[in-house]
Amino acid sequence: MQHLDEYAAARNKVAAYYDKAFANHPKLKTPKRVKNSTHVFHQYTLQLNGVDRTALREFLTTKGVPAMIYYPIPLHMQKAYKDDKYKAGDFPVTEKLCASVLSLPMHTELDEETLKYIADSVLEFCK
């Protein structure tokens, strides 16, 4: 607990780097920040617009950059929660996000050189 504030600050610094690197890119949407709130960024998840997520993830893998898809299947379409009253198309925002988000490395030990490499790799693919 004694390092909690330090760790949160480090994660926010990483998120701020990513935010700046991807700002105003037409194919990348960064996480929304709310001024009267704080966020620790357990994950840093981009929304991709017109980007082949699978190909981007494979490209990043070849460059040694792990990228994750944490929630690939909408909850209402998962076997454990399947219910006949819900079908594909009932939750279009959820379904769109599950198909178009990608999480980048996020931890307290990321230095500026590594962040630049990650961001430049994403931007190289998303020209």
Domain architecture of the chain: domains with CATH: 4-125 (3.90.1150.10)
Tens of pLDDT along 55-108?
A: 999 999 999 999 999 999 999 999 999 899 999 999 999 999 999 999 999 999
- The 3 state secondary structure assigned to the chain is CCCHHHHHHHHHHHHHHHHHHHCCCCCEECCCCCCCCCCCCCCEEEEECCCCHHHHHHHHHHCCCCCECCCCCCHHHCHHHCCCCCCCCCCHHHHHHHHHEEEECCCCCCCHHHHHHHHHHHHHHCC
pLDDT band at 37 (very low <50, low <70, confident <90, very high): confident
